[in-house]
A and B are shown apart, each in its own frame.
Chain A
Amino acid sequence: MNHIANVSRRGFLQGMLSTGAFVLSVRFMPEALWAADALSGSRADQSPLHPSVYLGVDTDGTVYIVAHRSEMGTTSRTSLPLVLAEELDADWSRVKVQQAIGDPRYGSQDTDGSHSIRDFYQPMREAGATARLMLVRAAAQQWGVPETECLTEPHVVVHKATAKRAGFGELATAAAKLPVPKKDELKFKPASTWRYVGKGQASYDLEDICTGKAKFGMDARIDGMLYASIEHPPVLGAKVKSFDDKAPLQVKGVSQTVVIDTFTPPHHFQPLGGIAVIADNTWSAMKGRKRLKAVWDNGPHAVYSSDQFKKELQATARNPGKAARNQGDVDAVFAQGGKILEAEYYVPHLAHASMEPPVALADYRDGKVEVWASTQNPQAVQETLSEKLGIPKEAVTCHVPLLGGGFGRKSKPDYAAEAAILSKKVGRPVKVVWSREDDIRFDYYHTVSAMYMKAALGADGLPTAWLQRSVFPSIGSTFNVNGTAAGAGELQQGWTDLPFNIPNLRAENSGAAAHVRIGWLRSVANIYHAFAAQSFADECAHAAGRDPVEYLLALVGPARIVDVKKSAPDYPNYGGSLEDYPIDTARYRRVIELAAEKSGWGKQKLGKGQGMGIAVHRSFLTYVATVVQVEVNDQGELRIPRVDTAVDAGLVVNPEATRNQFEGAAVFGTSLARFGEITATNGVIDQSNFDTYPVSRMNEAPYQTNVYIVESGAPPAGVGEPGVPPFAPALCNAIFAATGKRVRELPLSRSKLGS
């Protein structure tokens, strides 16, 4: 998919090939990656009918729909345009999806927090309905008939009584002359007539992916570009004392080395600093870098060692913290004695390890920079580069190719800033390619956490009091040097939102200092909070001698709306209103019952070493219950033959893509539960590649994950992340059922499961 571009207008090859007025150059970039041009606007903008930034209808009938969110595998690049196509009544085969550059006019492009559909379902509907109404009005005027008598069929306006028909392309120019209708004039298609929403479509890029044509950030190329591999400081905040680049410069293809300054705290999205080796191909840059000798001033974070830090977190968790939610009086109940359960849980740091390591290509010239970055947040690329280069945000054009996975890592554009800084210093386009070792050693890690749980069980075995306490370095530390206390955004994730029907309940937290960069990882704080709460619920069930599913339903209690604000005033509900997205225990109950029923809970005859476990969790406003089935042999080898997951995500636009997300979440959950562990010694990360940071392979992953989507009239919620949190506790509860061994620390590779 080479594209011939008139590059002189874009000022690309100046001084490199020719200074002719019409230099043509082959750029190995698909059109979609750069069609959205800062100068001329997107293809949607260039179309005659474009009543919204999200679409354009051309005279040939092509409908351009802008995908403004990043595509990293969740299919949002398909599902959101599909919503627009639905209300436009477009024929999907005549839709061209155009990827947006970073530009605030599209609204938030920060593709995280599982909210692409939640936040943009309505804007997409409105954009589609607006254009459809304009096309209908144009046809009605041309035919001299009332607009109320005109209907649409895919891509056509129809007047049945006169048998008149006109395609969207024929009507585009006339429609463009009409005033853009107001929102209250719009009529949305009744759900019964939906062709796409709720039925879904395969990824727009499916065939390109299967033929190797799809262009990821790693694949971005422009003429004259150089490649960089960066030796980052081994410890967070370390500075270069001295370095010797004689050996690197002897490597064929290496042209120079460039120092990137270490950031001034807080690190935010700034580059770590380091020494870049620049070459005319990736391999030479990497080879040269291996020969670099650098001496570092490691600074204060060289004290960080995981074993010691773990003990400190656990000690903190045994002492009272700050109450983030408090109802009744847990202390009074505990003081009465009776049956008291206590347990401690621990989840280590995790790395994202997306298959495509961080990568970005930048071309700085004349106070402007054009970037192609695997980024979840192109506007953050604009902001960060603007700050680091001292140029206005508008001078940063950020193209968004496909991302080879993201999982939250690529919300932070430090590597794009590296590319831009290097391009400015070198005077050529520079592509920064992180190695796998860079990716794992210099991540924005999922935080490390310790949880302490305590419950008093009444005569029926149900808790009369429940205390949960978590301790972890906060993501706030990435933005604020004093950011040790957890934010409400972290505590809402499986802690302050606990739905259990317990009169005395307290959720506490204590802060901890961060010694590595902390960031968001797929489902974030829900991972460790759900692991502790859902494992402990299972422990209580067994202590009470009751069936875990029946007990979980009793814990959740009768169908009701949990008035969480009463006991947790800071609860933010993922930015959704509690009117639209209440904490609804009926929905918890439904997914528990569905997952249990479909898994054959209580009906299957399980043999020696076999077991089933359940967990339920609401995150990103979606309710998920997961039943995991395991087999553990005498040697302690674990197999996961089957997973059954029930999902209530409100309205689901793309069920097939949603199933894909939950199948994948089971594998992601398996990876973190079985193997996921990042540790540090003297501030240096101990892991470096898939040998020391394993992720699930086919033979280690669940054999079969069945996903059941609840039909729901509720507004749409998230699907990218919510499958992850319940997986690890359901797995460990299954292991307990199979072996009698309770796993309270992840990863499982640290536990001996054999007899």
Chain B
Amino acid sequence: MIQLKVNGVQRTFDGEPDMPLLWYLRDVLALTGTKFGCGMALCGACTVQKNGKAIRSCITTMQRAAGSDIRTIEDIASNGLHPVQKAWVEVNVPQCGYCQSGQIMQAISLLNDKPKPTDEDIDDVMSGNICRCGTYQRIRAAIKTAAGERA
């Protein structure tokens, strides 16, 4: 039996311990905001927070998630949109939108670590998240907006 907290709710999992957290979230809990993109931590579409840090849920097994506090895109907004989500809307970042949950989760983590990130900080942290539509310059602008800077 694996115990973990997801979006504030205590959960018990009795399936295969090698199941990646991604598929537990999507298939078992129906939290489909977290996306499957590559299965190898190469694209970042599956990014969630584990104990406040951005992780790739596609390579994080349930065994490794045991006892942790997981937050997904569905639980980021409270009393209206999260400032990063607000910035995403303001800058009109998404095109298809599929990667954006992961981008937003990664950006939140970046801003937690570095409230005023430089271009280099943004490149370093966000280059693990692929956007095939190519919204990178808007992602950068939205991160700066959320950081309270002028983009």
Question: Which residues of A are in contact with B by a Cβ distance under 8 Å?
Answer: 28, 71-75, 202-203, 205-207, 209-216, 218-219, 221, 227, 251-253, 281-284, 286-287, 353-357, 402-407, 433, 435-436, 656, 660-661, 663-668, 670-671, 689-691, 695-705
For B100, list chain A residues within 8 Å (CB).
209-210
Q: 9 extra interchain contacts, Cβ-Cβ under 8 A, other than A287-B18, A663-B135, A689-B38?
A: A207-B89, A210-B89, A211-B81, A212-B73, A218-B32, A283-B27, A671-B132, A696-B136, A697-B129
Query: CA separation between A74 and B134, bound complex, in Å?
Result: 12
Chain B interface, >50% SS class: loop
Query: CA separation between A54 and B92, bound complex, in Å?
Result: 27
For A702, list chain B residues within 8 Å (CB).
137
Query: CA separation between A206 and B100, bound complex, in Å?
Result: 10
For A206, list chain B residues within 8 Å (CB).
89, 92, 94
In chain B, what residue has the closest Cβ to A353?
Answer: B132
Does B117 interact with chain A (Cβ within 8 Å)? Answer: no
User: With A207-B89, A282-B23, A283-B19 in contact, do A402 and B32 touch (Cβ < 8 Å)?
Assistant: no
For A435, list chain B residues within 8 Å (CB).
39
In chain A, what residue has the closest Cβ to B93?
Answer: A210
Per-residue 0/1 for B37-63: is the Cβ within 8 Å of any A Cβ (1 yes, 0 no)?
111101101000000000000000000
- Distance in angstroms from B89 CB to nearest chain A CB is 6
- Distance in angstroms from A457 CB to nearest chain B CB is 37
- What are 24 A-B contacts with C-beta separation under 8 Å? A73-B133, A211-B74, A212-B34, A219-B32, A221-B30, A252-B15, A253-B15, A281-B27, A354-B132, A355-B35, A355-B43, A355-B99, A355-B132, A355-B133, A406-B96, A663-B137, A665-B134, A667-B134, A668-B134, A690-B40, A690-B42, A691-B42, A696-B134, A699-B123
Query: CA separation between A282 and B58, bound complex, in Å?
Result: 12
The answer to whether A704 and B137 touch across the interface, beta carbons within 8 angstroms, is: yes
The answer to whether A698 and B123 touch across the interface, beta carbons within 8 angstroms, is: yes
The answer to whether A664 and B135 touch across the interface, beta carbons within 8 angstroms, is: yes
- Distance in angstroms from A475 CB to nearest chain B CB is 21
The answer to whether B94 and A209 touch across the interface, beta carbons within 8 angstroms, is: yes
For A664, list chain B residues within 8 Å (CB).
95, 133-135
Query: CA separation between A433 and B104, bound complex, in Å?
Result: 24
Does B4 interact with chain A (Cβ within 8 Å)? Answer: no
Chain B residues 71 to 111 lying within 8 A of chain A, measured CB to CB, are 72-74, 76-77, 81, 85, 88-89, 92-101, 104
Query: CA separation between A207 and B94, bound complex, in Å?
Result: 10
The answer to whether A253 and B16 touch across the interface, beta carbons within 8 angstroms, is: yes
The answer to whether B27 and A227 touch across the interface, beta carbons within 8 angstroms, is: yes
For B96, list chain A residues within 8 Å (CB).
71-73, 354-356, 402-406
Determine which of B36, B93, B127, B131 lies in contact with A433 in the assembled complex, contact meaning CB atoms within 8 Å: B36
For B30, list chain A residues within 8 Å (CB).
28, 221
Determine which of B33, B37, B99 lies in contact with A213 in the assembled complex, contact meaning CB atoms within 8 Å: B33
Query: CA separation between A214 and B85, bound complex, in Å?
Result: 14
The answer to whether B16 and A703 touch across the interface, beta carbons within 8 angstroms, is: no
For A353, list chain B residues within 8 Å (CB).
132
In chain A, what residue has the closest Cβ to B36?
Answer: A218
User: With A202-B89, A355-B132, A403-B96 in contact, do A698 and B81 touch (Cβ < 8 Å)?
Assistant: no
The answer to whether A698 and B127 touch across the interface, beta carbons within 8 angstroms, is: yes
- Distance in angstroms from A294 CB to nearest chain B CB is 20
Does B26 interact with chain A (Cβ within 8 Å)? Answer: yes
The answer to whether A282 and B27 touch across the interface, beta carbons within 8 angstroms, is: yes
- Distance in angstroms from B108 CB to nearest chain A CB is 12
- Distance in angstroms from B68 CB to nearest chain A CB is 18
The answer to whether B38 and A405 touch across the interface, beta carbons within 8 angstroms, is: no
- Distance in angstroms from A199 CB to nearest chain B CB is 14
For B31, list chain A residues within 8 Å (CB).
212
Does B147 interact with chain A (Cβ within 8 Å)? Answer: no
Does B70 interact with chain A (Cβ within 8 Å)? Answer: no
Determine which of A216, A286, A701 lies in contact with B98 in the assembled complex, contact meaning CB atoms within 8 Å: A216
User: With A405-B96, A690-B42 in contact, do A281 and B23 touch (Cβ < 8 Å)?
Assistant: yes
Does B144 interact with chain A (Cβ within 8 Å)? Answer: no
In chain A, what residue has the closest Cβ to B85?
Answer: A210
The answer to whether A697 and B92 touch across the interface, beta carbons within 8 angstroms, is: no
From A219, A402, A407, residue with most partner B Cβ within 10 Å:
A219
Please provide the 4 A-B residue pairs with the shortest distance between their CB atoms, ordered closest to farther: A212-B33, A667-B134, A404-B98, A73-B96
For A203, list chain B residues within 8 Å (CB).
92, 94, 97
For B72, list chain A residues within 8 Å (CB).
212
The answer to whether B32 and A210 touch across the interface, beta carbons within 8 angstroms, is: no
The answer to whether B85 and A691 touch across the interface, beta carbons within 8 angstroms, is: no
From A287, A656, A701, residue with most partner B Cβ within 10 Å:
A701
The answer to whether A660 and B32 touch across the interface, beta carbons within 8 angstroms, is: no
The answer to whether A402 and B134 touch across the interface, beta carbons within 8 angstroms, is: no
For A75, list chain B residues within 8 Å (CB).
95
The answer to whether A210 and B104 touch across the interface, beta carbons within 8 angstroms, is: yes
For A72, list chain B residues within 8 Å (CB).
96
For A699, list chain B residues within 8 Å (CB).
123-124, 127
- Distance in angstroms from B46 CB to nearest chain A CB is 11
Does B138 interact with chain A (Cβ within 8 Å)? Answer: yes
The answer to whether B131 and A689 touch across the interface, beta carbons within 8 angstroms, is: no
Determine which of B16, B77, B131 lies in contact with A211 in the assembled complex, contact meaning CB atoms within 8 Å: B77
The answer to whether A283 and B16 touch across the interface, beta carbons within 8 angstroms, is: yes
For B65, list chain A residues within 8 Å (CB).
none
